Structure 1
């Protein structure tokens, strides 16, 4: 075989399977330990936000437009996988300074090191036809499937971080967000939390969404608008956040809602049929008579070609009103604990990985097979 054929064979037969094996192990580790990881991140953010307040009081930082959680690539190359917290204003994006607020992400990059070691053992079998430095150069651009677990961790932690007094006390720009990426490379960073104080009017926002433009709505924040009876079929709302929005009777059929959040929204009679709802969040929403027929909201969906796993949390319906809602033929791992399930229709639904309260076991019409795929949990005791 020619050198390029050998290289391609090495990547396809050795490197990619080894990567996917380590990603699955990392995924399982994160799912088991995400609450402990949360407990590490929150105090760090608390100290950092107190420092940002001090910087603002002393006049060193104006309104904060962005908090960056940045991988320090130099430190990673030296065997110290750390992320740094930094804050910037709208006009000081390029002037961010190194800060002492660091997070050790050894739990992520230990799996990347294990991948590297496994690949090195495989590389030796090729009798110097594949050079170590060539693989090293290639590998540095292939760390995203590992790095994305820092994105997941900070996104998960934001529910708690945004409640911190120190976080709330930061003077923020009208467009504020928290991003996770690499130091000095903000183009590849991802938004994990966004607040837009300059909201569109209901009419303008509805028209904007009904255009259904590509890539236009990802990560967007929409709050306190009435978008009722809109036609949003096929829209891409991945990681968008709706806050106290009225969506009564709106049509979202065939839409993409990976990680989309609906916070205290009114979604009665909304139509989500055949949409992708992986990791979508409907906690505390009114979903009376909503249609979720044939939606896909599975857990642990592996895309081996890219080394990515989707569906870390399942679809969250805690405390939602699902009275008369329909999940016919849906494939969904939903957390229905504390939700109202009167006359909810689960005919033909695959509920593998779902959770419900034991009190609802005989309030909900389910087949024997469906009941066996659900985790039944006791109602939490309130002191």
Structure 2
């Protein structure tokens, strides 16, 4: 099934898909389309409008999302193993219960997205905006996290053990029970260095400028 430029908004699509086929949607309007439970392994969504699209419990193993996107897309309980999202707007998207093993998010706008309660062994994220996102309990162990904004995000219970941060921001991020053991935070803006945040950074590596800022905030001058 290869569809280009069609208005499929508010449509029940699951019953229209061809069993066993690879589905390609290019520049389609899928606003509030119902794809819940659909078999979409290996499907491609290129520059599609996906505002409010329902992809709950869909099989999206190896699916490719490139460009497009929209607000409040539902991926709850979907199988997203090996899926890739490149330059996609995923603002306020919901991934609760989704299987995110080896998913890659690159250049995505994920403001207010919720990945808490997702499943799997972890995902990769680069050059993306996760301001106000909820990643509670997610694992990015050993990952290279590059160009990501976590400003005011909820990172409670996240595991960043051994992760390397490059050109990242953690300003205002909620860090309750967050683990940074053996993480390299030298390439991160840590935000205001209050005592609660410093406890979360236990076991991490920081640079001299970061250390000086932490001490300066406590009235200690480094010369």
TM over 0.5: yes
- Contact 1:326 1:346 (C-alpha < 8 Å) held by counterparts: yes
**Equivalent in 233, 253, 262 of residue 36 of structure 2:** 233
Shift of residue 232 of structure 1? 1.0
> How many residues in Structure 1 have an aligned counterpart in Structure 2?
168
- Contact 1:331 1:351 (C-alpha < 8 Å) held by counterparts: no
Q: Distance in 2 between matches of 1:353 and 1:234?
A: 32
Matched, 1:366 2:155: yes
Deviation digits for residues 86-122 of structure 1, max 9, x if unmatched? xxxxxxxxxxxxxxxxxxxxxxxxxxxxxxxxxxxxx
Q: Distance in 2 between matches of 1:229 and 1:359?
A: 28
Q: Distance in 2 between matches of 1:294 and 1:255?
A: 12
Shift of residue 352 of structure 1? 4.3
- Contact 2:144 2:166 (C-alpha < 8 Å) held by counterparts: no
- Contact 2:79 2:99 (C-alpha < 8 Å) held by counterparts: yes
In structure 1, stretches of 5+ residues that fail to align are 1-193, 299-313
Task: Report which of the two structures shows the higher radius of gyration computed on alpha carbons.
Answer: 1
Shift of residue 201 of structure 1? 2.5
The alignment's TM-score, normalised by the length of structure 2, stands at 0.65
Shift of residue 359 of structure 1? 6.3
What does 1:208-227 align with in structure 2 at a 5 Å threshold? 209-211=13-15, 213=17, 215=19, 218-227=21-30
Q: Distance in 2 between matches of 1:354 and 1:208?
A: 38
- Contact 1:334 1:353 (C-alpha < 8 Å) held by counterparts: no
Aligned to 1:346: 135
**Equivalent in 74, 80, 104 of residue 277 of structure 1:** 80
Q: Distance in 1 between matches of 2:147 and 2:87?
A: 20
Q: Distance in 1 between matches of 2:147 and 2:45?
A: 31
Aligned to 1:316: 104
- Evaluate the alpha carbon distance shift between residue 361 and residue 289 of structure 1 in structure 2; reply closer, same or farther with a 3 A threshold: closer
Kindly indicate which of the two structures has a greater share of residues assigned to helix.
Answer: 1
- Contact 2:141 2:160 (C-alpha < 8 Å) held by counterparts: no
- Contact 1:334 1:355 (C-alpha < 8 Å) held by counterparts: no
- Contact 1:330 1:350 (C-alpha < 8 Å) held by counterparts: no
Deviation digits for residues 30-65 of structure 1, max 9, x if unmatched? xxxxxxxxxxxxxxxxxxxxxxxxxxxxxxxxxxxx
Determine helix, strand or coil for the equivalent of 1:378: strand
Determine helix, strand or coil for the equivalent of 1:336: strand
Aligned to 1:110: none
In structure 2, stretches of 5+ residues that fail to align are 169-223
Shift of residue 224 of structure 1? 0.8
Aligned to 1:244: 47
Shift of residue 356 of structure 1? 2.1
